[in-house]
Amino acid sequence: MGVDIVSFVEVRENGVWRLVPGDDWSPFDWRDYGLYGFLANVRNYSHVPVIAEPRLLPDDCSAEVHAEYKESAFAASWLTLAELRAFDYDQVFWDRRVQRRLPSGVIDGAALAEEGEGEHLTVRAFLGSGYFADLGRIERACPNASPKDIRVVFWFD
């Protein structure tokens, strides 16, 4: 059974968080366990550095986001654009996710690399251009707001 992300962009105006309309777009809305590992340590088979452990759904989230949240969701969290921009994406880590054929013949796509296996790469290369394109879209969606007043609220189901 797969895991998907549900995400929204909010902006703080006059101390109140409001939903930024997405026009059928939500940030990071593709299934990518490497990304999920980075954002919230969810299915972190690669052992990518985690930007922040889940923080729960913010108490002050917009009514629209609160209405979308379901009790079956897990690892609810949020990150400001300032936090997303400040992370050191050029740090190198050991991507420990490898594929391994099990004795049954089934391929395990989330096997743990042993010494000499896997790959050493930057977080930037690991996350790829789609991630950074979404950061740009988030910023452009709120052109007059400070990065500390823009956040992505997300959870997994």
CB 150 within 8 A of CB 139: yes
Q: Identify the CA nearest to 109 among candidates 51, 31, 14.
A: 31
| pTM (2 d.p.) | 0.91
What are the pLDDT digits (tens) for 101-136?
Answer: 888 988 887 788 788 888 999 999 999 999 999 999
SS3 106: coil
CB 80 within 8 A of CB 151: yes
Domain boundary assignment for the chain: 5-87+127-156
* Cα gap 55→151, rounded to integer Å: 13
100/6: higher pLDDT: 6
Expressed in percent and rounded to 5, the helix, strand and coil fractions of the chain are: 25, 30, 45
What are the pLDDT digits (tens) for 20-56?
Answer: 987 678 999 889 999 999 999 999 999 999 999 999 9
Whole-number pLDDT of residue 42: 96
23/82: higher pLDDT: 82
Using CA atoms, how far residue 77 sits from 13, 29, 41, 65, in Å, is: 20, 15, 11, 12
Whole-number pLDDT of residue 56: 96
φ, ψ for residue 116, nearest 5 deg: 90, -10
The mean per-residue pLDDT over the stretch 12-18 comes to 96
Whole-number pLDDT of residue 1: 67
Q: To which H or E segment does residue 156 belong?
A: strand 150-156
pLDDT at 60 over 80: yes
Chain-centre distance of CA 3, in angstroms? 12
Strands (E), 24-134: 74-80, 92-95, 97-101, 107-112, 119-122
- The whole-chain average pLDDT of the chain stands at 93
SS3 104: coil
